[in-house]
Amino acid sequence: MLMYGHYDLNLQNTTRLISSLLSPAVLFPTPQLCSHSHSLPSLYSSPSSYAPPSPPPQPNSLNSHYSTKLNILIKPPSLVPTPHPHPHHHRHRQTLKSPVISGAFAGSGQYFISLHIGSPPQPLLLVADTGSDLIWVKCSACRNCSLHSPRSTFLSRHSSSFYPHHCFQSTCRNLVPHPHPNTCNHTKLHSPCRYEYSYADGSLTSGFFSQEIITFNTTTAQQLQLKDFNFGCGFHNSGPSITGGSFNGANGVMGLGRGPISFSSQLGRRFGNKFSYCLMDYTLSPPPTSFLVIGSEQNDVVGVNSKINFTPLLMNPISPTFYYIGIKSVYVDDVKLRINPSVWSIDELGNGGTIIDSGTTLTLLAEPAYREILTAFKRRVKLPSPAEPILGFDLCVNVSGGLSTSYPKLSFELVGGSVFRPPQGNYFIETSDLVECLAMQPINQESGPSVIGNLMQQGFLFEFDRDRSRLGFSRHGCAIP
């Protein structure tokens, strides 16, 4: 996730995106140790049902941000069936699927993934984030948990399989950032692994790095349990990005990055090192069903073998979490813009480049490229400007004429010869009544990479093939599980 702005969604007659920007921020780990101490939760179970979460609508705001990146190793998890699997075996690897839910119901510009964690399973909604690695959930060690609304927090004492890693285990020492100083008593059997994960705006999650069992449906209608699943049990979560209105509807973050502790990495070692998702248009009501699918049989699942385009996934050793792609040229109404190719490249310090990030809402482009695109649109868009400027957007138009609005076509020529052609609804959004704005912002190349945010990704199936190091995208088969 990238922390470059604060965006409000007002859900009244239609879903609208309003931006009030914060200054660009650079990631840095929080140096201070969280002073709170925790006793280990006891392990016992209580009745719970396994059902998809149905969070209540509560309009408010969103922050998109990005987290510290890790380049570390992890042991592969193991898979065990639930008591009711089909007894027969399959010749091909199974794939796992989970619904992708727009956060618009809660006023958020994020997309959520349903995760069932613990024994018995507790359903939670996590922000789907290809720009970070750590999976963490809001946790409570309460005994009498009546103060927590249903499905809002992981109740660690209510799971018989909750297991915090010990601080002296290599899993703890090598996998997550720790508080500083990080005290660890090697002589005590129950010295939990404490993690501390900070965000660019100062937001912080800290707690126990732990193991649990997660429950999933497969594309063959089985229900499976994955044990030894590593995640952060966040007992202390603070800051605007991950608490209050900016985090409405979410119970944590599902890191889908390239690092070994990410959700896609942990599950990819068992099901195939590939995953796909489709982010449906957040303005549609009721929202169509779409899924995060993890496994090697992606194309068979979505049925778009002949219609999917590919571009290589590039590596940046300085930021190994991100999914980088290469942009060669940008076109507006099929006219190639005069943008120096070096604008899109990753320099020797690891700056620059372009990433695909589902945890960032708007698209952020390197300043020189952004200015060329903005100028091209201003030359072609002849609609009147709104009476009042819209903070954070450089091009807004009044669409009160009553006619269907048509904007210039935007396309990105990618490395490998494929072309990404988003529909105009992906880059012009309604920000208030009868006002639409260009949903892009400039970014200083030294502050971070350019970002293809989740609005620009709407309506496309994206397939992250990590073994072949390529990204596939298609407008077909988007909502097919």
Residue 357 falls in the annotated catalytic set: yes
Q: Beta strand 154-155 with 135-140: parallel, antiparallel or unpaired?
A: parallel
Q: Which pair of tokens denotes residue 18?
A: 């309003």
DSSP element (H, E) containing 48 = none
Q: Beta strand 111-117 with 204-218: parallel, antiparallel or unpaired?
A: antiparallel
- The rounded distance, in Å, linking the Cα atoms of 160 and 117 is 11
State the catalytic residue, choosing from 8, 129, 281, 465.
Answer: 129
**Residue 210, amino acid:** S
State the catalytic residue, choosing from 8, 281, 357, 465.
Answer: 357
Residues with a known catalytic role: 129, 357
